[in-house]
Amino acid sequence: MTLAEKVGQMTQAERSAVDGDPELITRLGLGSVLSGGGSGPASNTPQGWADMVDRYQERALATRLRIPLLYGVDSVHGNNNLVGATIFPHNIALGATRDPDLAREIGHITATETRAAGPQWVFAPCLCVTRDERWGRTYESFGETAELVQRMETVIDGLQGTTPQDLAGPDRVLATAKHFAGDGDTTYGTSTVGTLDRGVTITDWEHFEQVDLAPYATAVERHRIGSIMPSFSSVQWTDRPGSAPTRISGSGELLTGVLKEKIGFDGFLISDWEAIHDLPGDYPEQVRTAVNAGMDMVMEPSTAPEFAQTLIAEVEAGRVPTTRIDDAVSRILTAKFRLGLFEHPYTDRTHIDTIGSAAHRAVARRAVARSQVLLKNDHQVLPLDRNRHVYVAGVNADDLGNQAGGWTVTWQGQSGNTAFPGTTIVDGIRQHAAQVTYSADASAPMTGADVGVVVIGETPYAEFFGDVGTHDRTLGLSTADRATIHKVCGTIEVCVVLDVAGRPQVITDELPEIDAFVMSWLPGGEGAGVADPLFGSAPYTGQLPVSWPRTEQQEPVNVGDRDYDPLFPYGHGLTTHDR
């Protein structure tokens, strides 16, 4: 391989840049193309996706060496960019299930629905350990302890299979553990784009190894993860005098010394979206710092030609050794061989008809039911009697977009999004209850209602702050949600509140007027699963994967803290029996 061909394999561009210049793949010999959140073909169908990926593959196979292209997408809760795919609950909900077998099954379905539509590589799962629920990406984590995250890493086996040979199958994809390491454990106020996201993990080595690093060691040693994405965040060591924050994406100590050499990671590293631009110095310095630190492929969505040209110049000037280039390319090519792309570069559409199938959606609904956490149940009001008149209030009871959250068809998600199949929570309640009245704002008369069910929560978001406000994001309830709780619970004798959100919300003041309180997380497309334990078709078995704060000021609060006193402790979850 020539130097240019090697550097091409280390370069990843975004679909939109390739669409604007289809010859870019051939000209640069690109190793990979990705779809960012919400980026897809004009025909957002399984066939449309597969045709698009195959068109790009044709351009890759037109190069001298005919090295196939690797296509990556953010399948973080199902193949969520694809309209019609099964949309599963987000990771925080799966952590509440405490069910590794279910996580594996969901991973396998996600892999099947992704690869049948063309992409062979997913930027999932997130193995972050969330330590402060003010972090806007809390819902991407399985929970606040490394042990819980490690337990749920069976999702990797579902995605990749359990042997290197499995990757070549039409129902498997290359998985990516992200974001190595420490995102979720950053210190409040250290971020340049908000408060916590992309901030600084200020810690000693012992804590970092036990909390932040441990899930990635498990991913490598037990699950043979194929790729890892370093974090935007930084680390600052408290046990090293004079230590300054160091970006993970430029840390040779962590990427090469710890991850590749000590832990033994033999896959390849992919940078996050333009992440090397956050490194110190001018662009050539950023490129050589990242690559010399151990970055194997660089995600440069719209500046792939500039990256390739710069890296070639850095190698020719002797500032990046050819041995580092050879190591990176060998890792990338090994993944492509294991995926069977050299023998079968085009999309195997064997399972394309299973995308969004009834069988797959049934698994999603079961996952929703298993994830529900019953936090309060005074007088055993749950499960509800199917023969009672149920009054349902709250916008989140009937909004697919809100219950699916971010990373659903679009990057940030969208309220009112109906571009994917599914059932809302009130749909599920109607499947169980004999008489249902629904009023989004609780303005409809409540006369004759036996039970009030108020569905509160957040609106969608993907990164940075989260919901409620802009620069003053809080964990508090919206004014509308508080008013609906007071109105319904102050009028109807039995009042149940369901919280549809990506993280705990402060409900301390409202809790006394609520008879039963359920954390429903972000259930995804099958909101009817929320109603199954509500009416006793399934038992409540979920357990909190994070500690529930009494106030915003109590954050960060985590199990094992000194003077630990949350509103609901880690692992809390009442149980019921199905009828």
Task: Collect all residues with Cβ–Cβ distance below 8 Å to 566 and sequence separation of at least 6.
Answer: 547, 548, 549, 550, 554, 557
Q: Are strands 389-393 and 32-34 parallel, antiparallel or unpaired?
A: unpaired
- As a three-state string, the secondary structure of 130-154 is CCCCCCCCHHHCCCCCHHHHHHCCH
Element (H, E) at 454: strand 451-457
Cα separation of 295 and 249, whole Å?
7
Which residues in 159-216 belong to E strands, given as ranges? 176-180, 200-203
Residue 339 and residue 164: Cα distance in Å, rounded?
Answer: 8
* Nearest-angstrom CA–CA distance, 334 and 86: 30
Catalogue the active-site residues.
272, 463
CB atoms within 10 A of CB 35: 22
- The secondary structure of 334-376, three-state, reads HHHHHCCCCCCCCCCCCCHHHCCCHHHHHHHHHHHHHHCEEEE
Question: In this structure, are residues 373 and 544 in contact, taking their beta carbons and an 8 Å threshold?
Answer: yes
Distance CA 486, CA 510 (A): 8
E strands along 473-561, which residues?
494-500, 516-519
Q: How many angstroms separate the CA atoms of 396 and 530, rounded?
A: 12
DSSP 79-134: STTSTTS--PPPHHHHHHHT-HHHHHHHHHHHHHHHHTTS--EE---B------TT
